[in-house]
Amino acid sequence: MLGSVTLSYWHLSAEKRGRVERDVCIVGGGVAGASIAWWLKRTEPKLRVAVVEARFIGAGASGRNAGMVLAGLADHYDLMTERYGRERARAVWEVTLEHQRWLREFIAETGADVELEPCGSWRVALLPEEREHLMRSAELLRADGFEAEYVAHDPLGVGFHGALGIRSDMGVHSVKLVRALLEAAGAEVFEGCEADAIEPSSAGVRVRTRRIELTARYVFIALNAYAGLFHPFFKRFIAPHRGQMLVTAPIGERLFDRLVYAHHGYIYFRQLRDGRLLIGGFRHLFREREATIVDETTPEVQEALEDFLRQKFPQAAAASVEARWAGAMGFSTDGLPVIGRLPLSERIMYVVGFTGHGFGLALEVARRAVLSWRTGASDALFGAERLEELALGETAPCKA
């Protein structure tokens, strides 16, 4: 499924597959899969839930992001209203606020240390023309009952052209959050178990992995960018796009105190508690090359990240780069998550297509997916049926 390594018949036939039976199997150990497991525990505590993960927990985009928990999507709110209509855009924004509320509730209930930073965010205009989107977005957000703050100046003082502030946004340690959700869920986790086949069985659904063969009454597929490698059905509406990041050694001074989203979300950065500067983005300059599932960095994107960081923050010029990484995100055709059932079986649910904003959506989307599973009803906002209205045979993801 990972795409970077092929296996021969000899490898596959030499693997010993133990047999495991559980009530529910979740394929994918990222933030979506962990959120589903947490909601299953909350709603039906007696369920025996297993999570199978190809590599290790948080190995995909869930452990390779900037740890930003942001309201809304990558698009500014005015562009969201144009794309989805006012009512739907408002509903999506509310989903992200619900996600934030669930996250705060989870931390309060469990005491999990996920390095939460309730610092808020700035959406800044890299170019003067983006300022109009920020102004209009602030007006629309306030009119729709949401908190929003617009300032005409650059709150960072480094040459941006105005900013939109959202106080509810926060930063987290992404891997610690995924692990904490799974621990609280009490799910049995099978790492190093790349799923290579799924099929209905007399007992429900059989999921074959390299190490075990797991039979469950129900299955949730939460693979996002990797979904198309697991089953060809997903290639019709999910496409991978790579995001790259780096982090510096600690800087001796506090340069800014919020998460920052710039240039319509194509550039994003934050300063961590210990002074390190983390920056990601510039995928838009290399669109075709970055439309990949391979989680490797490239010199071109990494150079762009460093140039931007040191141009805006010369204080970082002497700081060494301590880590560089990349991760594949799953983009849906219309830029929204997709909750549905695999045509193979009504017992197989899927939750995919977070389009770069899993950490702003996963808890509430997972709640909706579990509710859809329990009731049999399609989700009104994210149900897969809506994609029938689009060119489902084409993959033209939002903000690719």
Residue-wise pLDDT tens digits, 82-92:
999 999 999 99
What local confidence, expressed as pLDDT, does residue 17 receive?
65
pLDDT tens-digit readout, 97-156 = 999 999 999 999 999 999 999 999 999 999 999 999 999 999 999 999 999 999 999 999
Last residue of a domain, one of 332, 354, 371: 332
Q: What CATH number did the domain enclosing 285 receive?
A: 3.30.9.10
φ, ψ of residue 6 to 5 degrees: the values are -100, 155
pLDDT tens, position by position, 204-236: 999 999 889 999 999 999 999 999 999 999 999
| Cα–Cα nearest to 35, from 376, 360, 374 | 360
Whole-number pLDDT of residue 208:
94
Q: How confident is the model at residue 56 (pLDDT cuts 50, 70, 90)?
A: very high
Residue 197 belongs to what domain range?
9-64+176-237+334-389
Confidence check: pLDDT of 1 > 50: no
Q: What percent of the chain lies above the pLDDT cut of 90?
A: 90
Helix (H, G, I), strand (E, B) or coil at 129: coil
CATH number, domain at 370? 3.50.50.60
The pLDDT value given to residue 13:
65
Q: Is the dihedral of CA 393, 394, 398, 400 positive or negative?
A: positive
Mean pLDDT of the chain: 93
* Residue-wise pLDDT tens digits, 259-282: 999 999 999 999 999 999 999 999
Residues 338 and 325 reside in one and the same domain: no
Q: What percent of the chain has a predicted confidence (pLDDT) above 70?
A: 93
Among 193-202, 293-302, 340-349, 391-400, which is the least confidently predicted range? 391-400
Assess whether 342 and 232 both reside in one domain.
yes
**β-bridge mates for residue 194, sequence order:** none
Residue-level pLDDT at 211: 87
CA distance 172 to 100: 11
Report how far residue 32's alpha carbon sits from residue 23's, in angstroms, rounded to the nearest whole number. Answer: 19
Band (15; pLDDT cuts 50, 70, 90): low
359 and 323 assigned to the same domain: no
Question: Does residue 360 share a domain with residue 303?
Answer: no
pLDDT on residue 210: 85
Q: Is residue 220 part of a domain?
A: yes
Q: How far apart are CA 35 and CA 378, in angstroms?
A: 19
**How many domains are there within the chain?**
2
- Residue 246 sits in the same domain as residue 307: yes
- Decide which of 397 and 225 is more confident: 225
Residue 157 inside a domain? The answer is: no
